[in-house]
Amino acid sequence: MELKEQLSELIFSKGELKQDVYKSTKQTFELFRSTAKAIVAELQEQNRQRGKDLRFEFTDRGDFEFEIRFAGDLLLFMMHTNVFEFSRNHEVMKSQYIREKPDRSYCGVIHVYNFLTDSFLYGRDNDLGYLIGRIFVNSEKHYFIEGKRELGMLYNNFNTSVIEDESVRSIVESAIEYTTNFDLLTPPYDEIKVVSVGEMRNNFDKKSIVTAKRLGFRFQADTDV
CA–CA separation, 223 and 207 (whole Å): 30
Q: What is the pLDDT of residue 214?
A: 54
CA–CA separation, 105 and 103 (whole Å): 5
189 falls within a domain:
no
169 falls within a domain:
yes
Give the mean pLDDT of the chain. 84
Q: What is the pLDDT of residue 147?
A: 82
Residue of 32 and 212 predicted with greater confidence: 32
173 falls within a domain:
yes
- Helices (runs of H) and strands (runs of E) counted in the chain: 7, 7
Residue range of the domain that includes 151: 5-183
Residue 213 has pLDDT above 70, yes or no: no
193 falls within a domain:
no
Residue 192 has pLDDT above 80, yes or no: no
Q: What is the pLDDT of residue 217?
A: 32
CA–CA separation, 28 and 135 (whole Å): 10
With beta carbons less than 8 A apart as the criterion, state whether 53 and 44 touch.
no
149 falls within a domain:
yes
Q: What is the pLDDT of residue 128?
A: 81
Residue 199 has pLDDT above 90, yes or no: no
76 falls within a domain:
yes
pLDDT in tens, 105-143: 999 999 999 998 888 888 878 778 889 899 999 999 999
CA–CA separation, 66 and 29 (whole Å): 10
pLDDT in tens, 21-51: 999 999 999 999 999 999 999 999 999 999 9
210 falls within a domain:
no
CA–CA separation, 175 and 148 (whole Å): 9
160 falls within a domain:
yes
Enumerate residues 6+ apart whose C-beta is below 8 A from 225: 148, 149, 182, 214, 217, 219
Select the highest-mean-pLDDT range: 118-132, 159-173, 182-196: 159-173
- How many domains are there within the chain? 1
